[in-house]
Amino acid sequence: MEREHTVDDLTSDSATELRRAARGNERVAVADAPDDSVRLVGEAEGLRELVRTLWVRELSAREFGQPGLAAADRAVRMRLQRQV
């Protein structure tokens, strides 16, 4: 069953990182939403997979010395994880 989740009050970096992470996930679609939020539509497993993708992106950003990207990935991952 498809679910809809809106992640609100995001920084522009966090919103951008969430959209990028969702692009590679065939089970989740990004729907129209205001600038400071991202609306996701997909099955529960697809949303959980997106949380894992954000975790991997965070670790990769840390490894390659990009603390800003790591922080953005972590912030949005934590918010999304609470919802799914």
Tens of pLDDT, residues 38-78: 999 999 999 999 999 999 999 999 999 999 999 999 999 99
On whether the pTM is more than 0.75, the answer is yes
Cα atoms in the Cβ-side hemisphere of radius 13 Å centred on 62 = 10
Whether the pLDDT of residue 33 is over 90: the answer is no
- Evaluated on CA atoms 56, 10, 43, 26, the torsion sign reads negative
How much of the chain exceeds pLDDT 70, in percent?
100
Whether the pLDDT of residue 34 is over 90: the answer is no
Q: What is the mean pLDDT of the chain?
A: 92
**What was the pLDDT predicted at 70?**
97
Helix H or strand E encompassing 49: helix 44-63
**What was the pLDDT predicted at 32?**
82
